[in-house]
Structure 1
């Protein structure tokens, strides 16, 4: 059989997209664990301070990697304006989320953030010119309906902390879109830029609202920052490998973590509504995954990934 470059290109794009989905699922799992810990911390310490100490631990891990080859990744920086905008969206997302979970349950804040795939899918079609068919749109909407059934938003979700969480959700969506725009950037630099932004902003605010922690708390916060680095690198890698509109709906797996952590950490027993909603969300995510495999057999990826 003669060699087919077209067949090889399609197979490569398919493999890249599936890897992107797996990286997104891994990042959500890591962030869910870290967020549960952060929820406990912000009950005592200001969100900015938690941001600052976590950032210190993360930088201790990332800077040696960035320093390799005399900071070559930072010097050869594509689209610096978008890089700065991406950092701003990342900082705003984190601070808004930390502020929200200080006042409302983690499940309520998670409910607000699960609107992100809707925003990302819409922005991907408008800003990134990614092809989003009606089937994927339908699966995203069905998944969000499952989230609403599972978490049963009440009047509390209309409070000002919930509005803060929704604002953070919008910032997260724009962060994912800008990450897709600068996908030629080194993955290590992308992660370091996020951490530097949170470290500097958190440190600035901490100077005014500092609450002395114990050394044990400092160590735990730094450890959570180090673990958070793995989540950052996973989500950045996901967005460089696959279209944002494809991987974003897999953020719905947060609902699974909300059920598990809510029961194990906070003693919340999942209701029948929660289980039904989680099942709907899982089905929507699986459908998008299977649908993408079918599409990748027929057409090349609209935005070929840049391997870094």
Structure 2
């Protein structure tokens, strides 16, 4: 008996594929920060991303002219900053812990919405935000001792990523190729600046190939996620982004022999529960 895949199922499949691409990219990034400076990783990744994006940009030159330069530059700067913070956090912390803290970004977005998006947040979602922040504290403070620099960097990166998401919302309708082009260019500039400050570790083409693959993984992940949101409602596909925590735990254990502690797992559970509740409340408020 034959049948066609529904748009909803196709959207979920694309979201799962996108999350998988990002997860594999994250694991590769953690492996690379042990041998390369962050600036070098950002620069090579971005140059590879530019090369892959060039054909699409060439076919749509008008996309860049229609984009508001000021807002695009601000959004791109946020992306470059959160990318650098993410790799820096990976140099301090296990993969699962960094991924868990970054999954709190939707909670940050909800908390900031009244001021930056002029969106009302009721008391129920307000309580969910507080619960989510409690989950962040659990995940970022797994040992119960002094809060380390790595945890602070991861929290700062999660917050910066939330600002990036808000900036993306405010650019709704902007061609995707323009969004990607600006953010890749900004990350390349930041990478170049860090290379000038940190220096360049000599490496052959084969050594740099895994770094370049980060650009491919990032573009593939963004492509799958954008396709997922085009095929199905956000409420149907966004919850599946939390499978990234499962990927982080699995890859951290298989590749780096990192086993998350009970506080990290408890924090992840609280963050996921709070995020899903916020999403459900947003869906209920829609007419």
TM category, shorter? 0.7 to 0.9
Cα distance between partner residues in 2 of 1:56 and 1:139: 40
Listed one character per residue, the Cα deviations across residues 34-77 of structure 1 (whole Å, up to 9, x for unaligned) are: 111111101111011011111111111111101114x1101112
Q: Name the CA distance, whole Å, in 1 between partners of 2:75 and 2:84.
A: 14
Task: Give the match for residue 40 of structure 1.
Answer: 31
- TM-score, normalising length: structure 1: 0.74
Match in the other structure for 1:263: 253
Q: Report how many residues are paired.
A: 279
Question: Residue 89 of structure 2 aligns to a residue in which SS?
Answer: helix
Structure 2: stretches of 5+ with no match in the other structure: 1-6
Of residues 50, 60, 69, the one that matches 2:51 is 60
Aligned to 1:5: none
* C-alpha distance in 1 between matches for 2:261 and 2:269: 13
Partner of 2:3: none
Pair 1:226 & 2:194 matched: no
* CA deviation after TM superposition for structure 1 residue 277, in Å: 5.4
Give TM-score, length-normalised by structure 2.
0.79
Q: How does 1:262-281 map to 2 (within 5 A)?
A: 262-269=252-259, 278=268, 281=271
How far apart in 1 are the matches of 2:142 and 2:255? 21
Correspondence for 1:165: 154
For the aligned residues, what is the CA RMSD? 3.7
2:138–2:263 contact (8 Å) kept in structure 1? yes
2:108 matched to 1:132? no
The residue aligned with 2:189 is 200
**Structure 1 runs, 4 residues or longer, greater than 6 Å off:** 21-25, 236-250
Aligned CA distance change for structure 1 residues 228 and 156 (closer, same or farther; 3 Å): farther
Given that 2:97 and 2:139 are in contact with CA atoms closer than 8 Å, whether structure 1 keeps it comes out as no
Preserved CA contact (<8 Å) 1:146 1:277: yes
